[in-house]
Structures are given as C-alpha cells and as structure tokens.
Amino acid sequence: MAAVAENAIGSDDQFIHHRASSTAAAAPASEFQRDVRQLVDLLSKLNPSAKEFFPSSYSPDRLSHSQSPPNNLSGVIKDFSDDGNSNYRRKKNDYSQGKRRLNGRTLRAQREDSIRRTVYVSDIDQHVTEERLAALFTTCGQVVDCRVCGDPHSVLRFAFIEFADEQGARAALNLAGTMLGYYPVRVLPSKTAILPVNPTFLPRSEDEREMCARTVYCTNIDKKVSQTDVKNFFESICGEVSRLRLLGDNVHSTRIAFVEFAVAESAIVALNCSGLLLGSLPIRVSPSKTPVRPRVPRATMH
C-alpha cells in the first residue's frame, strides 16, 4: 500500500513538473505569435499605391496590354498617364526653353551684325567733337551712330562709329592715319557694339534738341553726393542749372546725372569738368543725347 502511495505521489510530481515545463515553453511561442500578429497588422495598414513604393524609372507605358495593373494602382497610373499633367508640363517647358534659345540666338545674331558694322577709333584730339568725327566717316557710308568716350582733356579719347552696312565699316579702315586735329587717328574693327539709346528718350522736337545743347551727361558720381551737392558744384564753375536729374540704385557703386543749364555756353564749360573731384571720385562729363524732361506726376487713386 505504501508502495502504491509512493508511486502515486511520484506520478503527481512528474505531472506537475511536465506541466510547468510545458507552460515555460509555451510562453515564448505566445510572444512570437503576438509579434507576428502586430507585424501583420502594421503591414495591412500600408498603402501599396504610395509613390515611395515605385522606382523613379517606373512608367505605365512599359506595362503591356496583357499585364493590367492592380486596382489599387489606378491613382498612381493616373498621375503618370498620357492625359495627366506631366507630359503637358514637359511639352510646355520644352516650348519655353526653345523660345528662349530662339530669342537668345536672335539677339546674339543682331549684336554680331552690329559689331561687323562698327569700327573703333582711337587717338582722338580733345578738340574734336562727335559731329566732326562723324562727318569725316560719312565719306565711307551712312553713319548710324557715333560715340566719343574718355577724358576730353586727354589724347587717349576713343570712339565707336556704327555704319548702316558692313561695306561702310570696311571702307572706314582705310582712314587710319588721317590727321584730325593735331593727331592722326587709328581705326580698327570693333570688338563690341554700341549700346543703343532708347528712342523714346531722344529729342522729339526742335525745342528738345535745343535742350540737349544745354545738357551734359555726368557719370562716376560718388554715391554719398546729394543732388544739391551736384547742383552747387556745377553752378559754382559753369553757371545757372535749370534742371538736374540724379539717378542711381543700390546695385551700382556710382551714380549718374543729367544736368541742364540755362544757357548752352555753360554746358560747354561743364565739359571741361571731367576729372574734377566731386565728393571722393573724379567725375566724367560728356554731351547729353537726351533732354531732361520734367517728371510727369502720377495719377492719384481715389
């Protein structure tokens, strides 16, 4: 009887031990199953039609007619379809770029044509005016524009002369060595074109041409100089200033001015002011091709 009891107790111990071992082994398995369920739940919430699941090289055009895409990709395919905005934007950008290239080529061709019709003249006597210089070169062809540059007190003045055609520019090269004033001029093909003057600024009447004769164009003006300073400078040397326009911005390091005098003789005297200090910089003065028109008041909004 005692042996039976001992066997019974031993069996119970073995059952308890086996149950405890089974419970310990089942614990990691249940945790693994729980992790799998969580992973499945997360994956089920993902949107397979999101763009980040498609490579940059993806295009619906590569799909054959037999390979119809799944329904949940319809939104993505619509974004890349032929009737979408992508092709339209591409065509529009190609058109805009082509138009810019065409405009750029046109402007470059026009500039190169102007350069071929222009000559560079140096060693110009300080007493030679633009009118006299242009008159010399009219024997070669029609002169479209003539610009004299440089310090009027120096023999290092130079000019650009533009003709109506290339034949005039080629003929002008033969005038190299011609005495004009006290020095023989040098004439070479130009490497740059003359910057055109806005035709709306040119004189429109005899009165405005008379205004131009009384006006000078002043450059290299110190930015710290005020309009009153410019007026006082020219009135102290040349005579009464009837109108003055001082221009400048935050981009350029210097300013420019158009100064109109009461009489033409004052403008002639003002041309001799090139090289004089106004503020901290030497100014450059040349005849003006445009009159100083009065400002038109802006209409007020009611």
Do the beta carbons of residue 119 and residue 160 sit within 8 Å? Answer: yes
What pLDDT is attached to residue 169?
A: 94
What pLDDT is attached to residue 271?
A: 83
Rounded Cα gap, residues 287 and 246, in angstroms:
16
Report the CATH number that the domain containing residue 235 is assigned in CATH.
3.30.70.330
Q: Is residue 2 part of a domain?
A: no
Single residue among 142, 159, 189 that ends a domain in this structure: 189
Do 208 and 154 share a structural domain?
no
Neighbours of 21 (CB within 10 A): 10
Q: Is residue 52 part of a domain?
A: no
What pLDDT is attached to residue 109?
A: 80
Mean pLDDT, range 233-237, rounded to an integer:
95
Q: Is residue 8 part of a domain?
A: no
Is 50 exceeded by the pLDDT of residue 265? yes
Do the beta carbons of residue 178 and residue 140 sit within 8 Å? Answer: no
Do 184 and 205 share a structural domain?
no
For the purposes of burial, counting CB atoms within 10 Å of the CB of 41, is it exposed (0-12), middle (13-18) or buried (19 or more)? exposed
Q: Are strands 281-282 and 277-278 parallel, antiparallel or unpaired?
A: antiparallel
Query: pLDDT band at 227, cuts 50/70/90?
Result: very high
Query: pLDDT band at 253, cuts 50/70/90?
Result: confident
Is 50 exceeded by the pLDDT of residue 91? yes
Rounded to an integer, what is the distance from CA 69 to the centroid of its chain? 47
Least confident of 238-252, 254-268, 287-301: 287-301
For the purposes of burial, counting CB atoms within 10 Å of the CB of 272, is it exposed (0-12), middle (13-18) or buried (19 or more)? middle
Structure tokens at 277: 């200090």
Q: Is residue 88 part of a domain?
A: no
Do the beta carbons of residue 155 and residue 123 sit within 8 Å? Answer: yes
Single residue among 138, 163, 189 that ends a domain in this structure: 189
Over the chain, what is the mean pLDDT? 75
What pLDDT is attached to residue 193?
A: 77
CA nearest 221: which of 237, 244, 198? Answer: 244
Mean pLDDT, range 105-109, rounded to an integer:
77
Do 160 and 117 share a structural domain?
yes
What pLDDT is attached to residue 3?
A: 47
Across 30-34, 65-69, 274-278, the highest mean pLDDT is recorded for: 274-278
What pLDDT is attached to residue 50?
A: 64
Rounded Cα gap, residues 94 and 100, in angstroms:
10
Is 60 exceeded by the pLDDT of residue 77? no
What pLDDT is attached to residue 92?
A: 62
Rounded Cα gap, residues 285 and 221, in angstroms:
10
What pLDDT is attached to residue 177?
A: 93
What pLDDT is attached to residue 65?
A: 46
Do 206 and 158 share a structural domain?
no
Cβ within 8 Å of residue 31, ≥6 positions away: none
Query: pLDDT band at 185, cuts 50/70/90?
Result: very high
Do 170 and 133 share a structural domain?
yes
pLDDT > 90: what percent of the chain? 22
- Count the domains in the chain: 2
Q: Is residue 125 part of a domain?
A: yes
Mean pLDDT, range 211-240, rounded to an integer:
91
What pLDDT is attached to residue 73?
A: 47
Do 255 and 184 share a structural domain?
no
Q: Is residue 274 part of a domain?
A: yes
**Domain encompassing residue 126:** 111-189
What pLDDT is attached to residue 33?
A: 80
Least confident of 34-38, 198-202, 244-248: 198-202
Say which DSSP state 203 is in. Answer: -
Mean pLDDT, range 227-231, rounded to an integer:
94
Single residue among 168, 189, 210 that ends a domain in this structure: 189
Tell me the pTM. 0.40
Query: pLDDT band at 225, cuts 50/70/90?
Result: very high
Mean pLDDT, range 6-20, rounded to an integer:
51
